[in-house]
Structure 1
Amino acid sequence: MSKYLVIASPSIGGAERRFFDIFKSMNKNKEDIYLVAPSSLLQKLDNNYKLNDKIISIELARWSYVMFCFQFYFGVVSKSSKDDTFHYPLNPPFFLHYFPIRKFSISYCYCYAKPKISLKSIGLSFQRIAGVFASKVDVLSPAVYDELKKSDKKFSLTPGGSFVDAADFNTDGKKNDVAIISRLEHGKGIDTYIKIVELLKSAELDLVQPLPKFRIYGEGTLKQRVENKVSDLSNRGVEVTYNGFASPQEILSESGVVFSLQTTTNYPSRVVVESLLSGSQVIVLNSGDTQEFGQVVGLHYLNEDLSNLVEVFNAVSIEKMSTGIKKDISEQAKVKFNSPSYLEYYKRVME
């Protein structure tokens, strides 16, 4: 029996990276698992993906969900064995599993509400419908799980939040900068980050260290607005740059402090986990169920009204980031976010 982990998404985000790491770790453990994804996503996840015979690339000149499903059905589903299983973290094409009939499971990766039928989001609609027919449903958010757990035993809560392949991260690098790694969309924290930079500039005399370099990483519909704000801040003497897309490893080798500022919740943000594994300190907006992270070395909670901004920022002095502190942050994060029990959980979900 083979397992197929299918990521029907062209862009890279926390969910895509998390499930790629799950695939890699299961593959290392000799599990009979395949990853199926569009070539545009695989190019961002792994430059050497063509060398892995367990990775099935759906070659598309440009992203089309319909064409992805067409190629996936005839190239994979129709050729699969009756005991094979499929798992869909995003945009599940449940309609492909009636002929031939194949067992499938899904994940609810949304942290703000359970999926619902909506003309505004085909992905959410498919998640909602697929949840009816899926054999098992993995739910990432504790808040969403609380809404669902009494309705059907097929639902289960992702243990411990996120999962990251710790081998991909280390504590090397200068770590002199302050950064946000985010999709440039409303609610993802970029507006709050810009406001924070402005507030820190105004409170410069109250800071225990000079203003550091501020960096913005990510892509999205607010790109032009961000570039305009960066230009304005630069003209006011703030050292801030917009750097577009870059790999987390590249970013975190330079970033001593990372912000996670999503307005709904920051649990279980992958950026938080990757930053901690890299020995960077993290400031999270205390929104929603962000407190699910608990007390973690290197993690600092910022009030939603930003009232403790100066206090928190002074507490994460980059100048005091010794090698020992960075390693302590990283080692404790490995224990929490790289547990073998996490992989065992997904093996059960995909059975």
Structure 2
Amino acid sequence: MTLTQSQPTVSLKLHPQQLPRRQSDSPLRVRDDLATPESAALVLEPGEFRSIVVELRHSWRSPLNLELVLEHPTDLPSGCFRGWHESDNPYQLGLDEEVQPSLEHRYSFPSLPPEETQRRVLFFYLPEDFFESEAAITGSRPRLTLEYPLQLRVYASLPHSNRRQLANFAAFGLQIRPQSLYLNLLPNIYQANDFLERFLKILEEAFDPTVRTSEMMWAYLDPLVAPKALLPFLAHWVGWKLDPRLSELQNRHLIRHAVNLYRWHGTRAGLRLYLHLYTGLPLSDRAIEIQEVFDRGFRLGETELGLDSTLGAGQAYHFTVVLRPSEDLEIDEPLVREVIERYKPAFCTYSLQIFPENS
């Protein structure tokens, strides 16, 4: 008996990854001769992989060659269909890395034994900026299509035979929808409305720039990441004067540490921090060494003369700054002296020494 004399029973089941949570305002239009009582639907949100599982089985008395054919409209977005796979993990398959817009829309099961269920996963994907892309906005079509009717047809043939016949078919719809975060703030009864979700998406896109700006306000107030045009304002805010001799990054760090520099003004820690920010030397006792002299003066028995004075103790209120830069770091000595003069205690004197790093 040939297939033309007896129609083989082929079971075809579709399991969408997610069922539509809304009633579509424009139901999918499937040809009358291919219409099914219940058509599956797959909601595809740009930036997310969505899949539909196909289960296939036949009850013919001998093995059959079965071929699945995916039929879709000609205006289906390029690269939307990501092929037939056995795994249901698109990232494990590397589908997020490779785009193959010309994938084969046919899949064959040669010599499939009877009562053996075969399972394949069809993946669909659209880029996250699908609705904002130039192709979607300025395309030749008058309006962007959001509903795509697709069909899976099963053709059966005997092994070593070129004659095949349609054994079964199933229709399902691909609904492209933007993902609205505002919808999650509403009760469940409103989340099932497709029109409301698309309407809220319009408001979400309108307010999104303002929301993003408010969420990133901290970045505008951080001198290290704020736009360059805001640096004079931030410097004025903390009472700091930008130094044109320094790089932009150095000025950013000085503005950020301005309050601490005011707090530690006139101290050893404060002077070391100033020199670190102005010269780029590491903030360590080895790279920036500040030596202070604490002598007891000239002693005659129990009498001390010249304590913290010139007589016997050397220079009063004097300290020494020793810098040890690396070979690739050039020290601007006039700038260093200006920094020390500006930020040391007014009654102190100092001496400056610059040695190689390994000295």
- Flag the structure with higher strand content: 2
Q: Normalising by structure 1, what TM-score? A: 0.21
**Could you state the TM-score of these two structures normalised by the residue count of structure 2?**
0.20
Q: Which has the larger radius of gyration?
A: 2
